[in-house]
Amino acid sequence: MTMLLIFCVTKNVRGEEKNGNPSAPGELIFLLDTSASMNAQDRDREAIDAIRQAAYSLPSDYRVGLVAYNTDIQTVIVPGTSAVQMEEMLAGITYTGYTNAGEGLAQAVGLFSGDSGASDRCIVMLTDGEIDMPDSGAREASRALYSEAALQAREQGVRMYIVAIGTELTDPRLHIFDGAEVTDGAIYWEGQSGSLSGVMRRILEERIGLPGAPLTADGAGDSLPEERAKSAFPEGGLSHARPEGGTVVLNANIPKGVSRVRLALTSEESISGVQAGQAQVITGQHFAVVEAVRPSAGTLSVSYQTPDPASVQAWMIPEYDAVPAISANYRIEELPRSEKEIKRNVPPAYEHYADLELRLLDVSGDASGGALGDASGYAGGGANIWEDERFEGMEVSFTVNGTPYTGIIQGGSISLTLRAEELKEVTAAVSMADEGAVYRIRGAEPVQIEKFPDPEFEPLPDYRPLIAILCALAAGLAGLFVFWMGRRTTVIYMAPSPLGDGTKTASKAGEYSGKLSMYVVRNADGKDIPPQTYRLFGRRARRLTLGQILTSCGIKFDKIGADDIILYPGPDHAVIVMDQSEGCTVMRGMEILKKGMGYPVYYNGKITVSFEDEETEMELHYRNLKPGEREEL
């Protein structure tokens, strides 16, 4: 029978930077008691199996070593030893001799590197008893060395986690447990704290802060702390029955752009028959680790057999090898100017910006290091890791030219705008505070900002000289106009003579002569108005209205058309009369004047005007002045 279990990463838990994106790989040294008493306490060599389980479950860049001790040091596996050589050395370990834990701890502390920036530095000690040597002197020397080495471990920031194997180490006050207390570590008892496989898994998850995320079906993750289990596992899960000799299939979702995936399976029961396609599989009595290098995004299927599928715990660690990629676009913005500044041709001020776009590129297949070529391309870089949907909306800490910022991933990138006046190049560093994966992020090459000059200022034309010239010209034209007005001639259309068509007669200024004798024949109120005389001689040659003449003589009529009867000076001492009224009737002698036509009236001529009210009528007699009248003027 085949059983299918579908597992998924349920949540990307964020934590401290040391867990999500360590500045340096962690270091873990196993300290294994291989004294003769272990033959009784660890008949099935499950302690060595638990060490293998932990070593293969850690991220690939973790520094792992081992010291196996009895009366003397039996085996030392220095960090960086190949997996094949480590397997051979573990297989060669035998349980014999006494328990010289002092020398063993001193050797273990000496295996740590001098890099104090390692994210975690731990010793996991597996032992079944107190320090025991052939004689009391050697025993006390080992105890003293053990205490001294524990103090050195504390000074180096190394914590000790002691796993008590078997049934003899039941008193927590034993001297062997001082190492955990001095280094602020912890003690686990086999059986009470779970099987050796379960204890090792708990140490990795609870104490070391194993990156990655649990994969769960029904019953998985029960040993996690309550608050972490709630965030890491969904409610419910898939229920399943106990298969009878069947195969369990686990399907794990692989993120986009991941360079390596480690999937660890642990169980209280045995795990066998593990298959995972082309991925590498490492198995033990109670564990299996599947490692896929540069897997395609999608599903990783793992099949295995176990007596109790519900006891299987699954943990997946995605690993990313990446480099930040930053592009920079230079931008200039003109600051607004006031109307006064614009009129004065004050040059505008500009602000300069660099619009940055930050991505994280996969370089796991790039031996050159994935250096950036320029701002417009990403030489050597692979896929943009942040395009995977799990990163959308994630907050990321990063630096630009050493200045820290935080940003939100949107559409596979983070945008940032900086003032660029003093900015010549930019370089970025990214810190992924994400417990759900391991990030090895390389340094990026600086990107030059391609700047261009500010727009050339083009001042508005200065029209002031032109305005001055135009003003002078206008003044000259105005003077000419005034002069012309004083010298102008008036063109009047004269009424046609009986011999031909109407002609145009020019009347020059200053040619008025004679006088008008005016008689009001009748008016609307019936009052008598005495005759009046209006001298034309000596007046400027300009247009006169009958209304103006009457007003100057003290004769006041209502608006009955007097202002629309016009007089002009004419040739040969004539005065030209023009009727422009709507309702008046003007007669020269017995001839009625046509509207808008000029009629010359000579000395002793008579003009009769019947006004628009049809009640007022007057006569105008045009006469020459007597010599005495001219002298009076």
State pTM to two decimals: 0.64
- Which residue carries 């391991």 as its tokens? 438
Query: How many CB atoms sit inside 10 A of residue 467's CB?
Result: 10
Domain borders along the chain are: 2-311, 319-448, 491-632
Q: How far apart are CA 113 and CA 121, in angstroms?
A: 10
Least confident residue range of 39-53, 74-88, 364-378, 399-413 = 364-378
**Kind plus residue range of the DSSP H or E element containing 149:** helix 136-155
Which class would CATH give 491-632? mainly beta
Q: How far apart are CA 169 and CA 48, in angstroms?
A: 19
- Which residue carries 């002698």 as its tokens? 589
Amino acid 489: pLDDT: 52
3-state DSSP of 94-114 = CCCCCECHHHHHHHHHHCCCC
> What is the CA 618 to chain-centroid distance, rounded?
94
Model confidence at 2, pLDDT cuts 50, 70, 90, reads very low
- Fold of domain 2-311: Rossmann fold (3.40.50)
> What is the CA 295 to chain-centroid distance, rounded?
32
Largest distance between two CA atoms of the chain: 172
- The pair of three-digit structure tokens given for residue 573, joined into one six-digit string: 């001492």
Per-residue pLDDT for 71 more than 60? yes
More confident residue, 352 or 629: 352
More confident residue, 515 or 169: 515
Amino acid 499: pLDDT: 43
Q: Which amino acid is at 130?
A: E
The DSSP code sequence of 543-584 is -EEHHHHHHHTT----SSSGGGEEEEE-STT-EEEEE--SS-
Query: In this predicted model, what pLDDT tens digit does every residue of 109-122 receive, in sequence order?
Result: 999 987 665 568 99
- At residue 415, the 3 state secondary structure works out as strand
Query: Strand pairing partners for 532?
Result: 518
Cα 5 to Cα 131, 217, 220, 223, 238, distances in angstroms: 46, 7, 12, 20, 7
- Mean pLDDT across the chain: 83
Query: In this predicted model, what pLDDT tens digit does every residue of 525-560 receive, in sequence order?
Result: 888 899 999 999 888 888 999 999 999 998 888 889
